[in-house]
Amino acid sequence: MLWTLPVLWLAALAAILLWYLRDIGRLWREPVLRCPVLVLESDDWGAGPPAQATALNDMAALLGGFQDTSGQVPVMSLAVVLSVPDGKAIAAEKGPYQRTCLDEPSLSTVLDALKQGEAEGVFSLQLHASEHFWPNTLMGSVDPKVRSWLSQPVPAWTEELPPHLQSRWTDASSLPSRSLPQHAVDLAVKEEIEIYKRVIGSTPRVVVPPTFIWTPYVERAWAANGIQCIVTPGQRYTFLAADGSHIADGAKFANGDCSGDITYLVRYDYFEPARGRDAGYALHALGRASSEGRPCILENHRVNFCRDTAVHRTSLEELEKLIAGALSLMPTIRFLSSCELLRVLKEQDPQWVARHFNERFPCFWRRLRHSGRLWKLLKLSGLALPGELLTRWALCSVKPSHV
Ligand SMILES: [Zn+2]
């Protein structure tokens, strides 16, 4: 019968929309920024080898040579690790875990470089962790490599630990990992916030969970100690599987989503020249993010700038290309720290965040176009056509605006 075809088509449309309702809702509710925004984030800096100081000073000098149309210099938001094992004490006493904090005289060049860059406005400091691991897990390890790493006399590179042991907020003494006791989480969070306040001189507002493993309980403990924002990869991984892979709990985030006192930011892509994700790769991501009205939050790690002279030099060159390229391709681009982006999203500042349907819809539609399977289904079902027409109408009716 002829009438069955439209009915089947409508049923298919309804099924697609129902199945993807939460994803579509997330794409729609995420704020639309009115100009391109670049947020550079680099992790793992702080307590560790003094070689970081030179890398930080070089990066600060490079960043300070650029500015956007508002006069803002590019900012590297640095996730700071506050301590490493006190190898000598651990080797000598064979007792409980002992730490060397970032404010120890032996690490003063690194702390000075961080604070100098912050004072110049090229660095914004945020919490990574007290340690980039759970100390009791390492202390309980019988692996000779881990034992020797723990008791080395010089400040350690945490990147040398087995990957699963670099997670902090799960008990990875064996895999699959297990939840940490809640009272231990409470104590550890309180302690790391206190160390941050003492060492950095302010209360951290933004945290980047090490290896992106954390739990809702850890979130609540952070919030109770003043943290306002968690940087995420768009979902929450809560433990490690038997093969060491990250397991998510089903929670998915968009920029600006809130839970209680916590607001989430979502990293968009990578700038990791040491792993082939260079300036060209990052500029492509910036173009895509800007077309979607999203901040381009790029993930980076200190390993790009430390440990190997050639890699250090290449990464600085790529950073320069990235910033110069961004300013050249997008003259209206704005450089923000994660903390400043948090303010923009929380306040829904109309200078930065689009409110009107015809400004929001084209960006929402581009997000859909980049949504993979959902977009394929929209095209197959014919739903893409009215959306395309609506986008064209919205683009014609909106005037370009600048922050
Ligand atoms: Zn890290």
Residues with CB under 5 A from ligand 1 (ion): 43-44, 210
CA of 7 to the centre of ligand 1 (A): 52
On whether the CB atoms of residues 299 and 267 are closer than 8 A, the answer is yes
Could you tell me the pTM of the whole model?
Answer: 0.94
CA of 213 to the centre of ligand 1 (A): 10
Q: Which residue has the higher pLDDT, 166 or 349?
A: 166
What is the reported pLDDT for 400?
56
pLDDT, one tens digit per residue, over 90-142 is 988 767 899 999 999 999 999 999 999 999 999 999 999 999 999 999 999 99
Q: What is the DSSP string of 248-282?
A: EEEEE--TT-EETTEEEEE--EE-BGGGTB-HHHH
User: 3-state class of 171 per DSSP?
Assistant: strand
pLDDT, one tens digit per residue, over 45-74 is 999 999 999 999 999 999 999 999 999 999
CA of 336 to the centre of ligand 1 (A): 21
CA of 128 to the centre of ligand 1 (A): 7
Picking from 250, 253, 334, 322, the residue whose alpha carbon sits closest to that of residue 290 is 334
The rounded radius of gyration (Å) of the Cα atoms in the chain is 23
On whether the CB atoms of residues 100 and 86 are closer than 8 A, the answer is yes
CA of 206 to the centre of ligand 1 (A): 14
pLDDT, one tens digit per residue, over 264-291 is 999 999 999 999 999 999 999 999 999 9
Picking from 99, 70, 73, 68, the residue whose alpha carbon sits closest to that of residue 86 is 99
CA of 44 to the centre of ligand 1 (A): 5
CA of 211 to the centre of ligand 1 (A): 6
Relative to beta strand 235-240, strand 246-252 is antiparallel
CA of 43 to the centre of ligand 1 (A): 5
Average pLDDT over the chain reads 94
Picking from 170, 189, 169, the residue whose alpha carbon sits closest to that of residue 178 is 170
In three-state form (DSSP H/G/I as H, E/B as E, the rest C), the secondary structure along 46-112 is ECCCCCHHHHHHHHHHHHCCCCCCCCCCCCEEEEEECEEECHHHHHHHCCCCCEEECCCHHHHHHHH
CA of 338 to the centre of ligand 1 (A): 16
Cα–Cα dist 225/291, whole Å:
37
Show me where the domains of the chain are located. 33-355, 356-403
Superfamily of domain 33-355: Glycoside hydrolase/deacetylase (3.20.20.370)
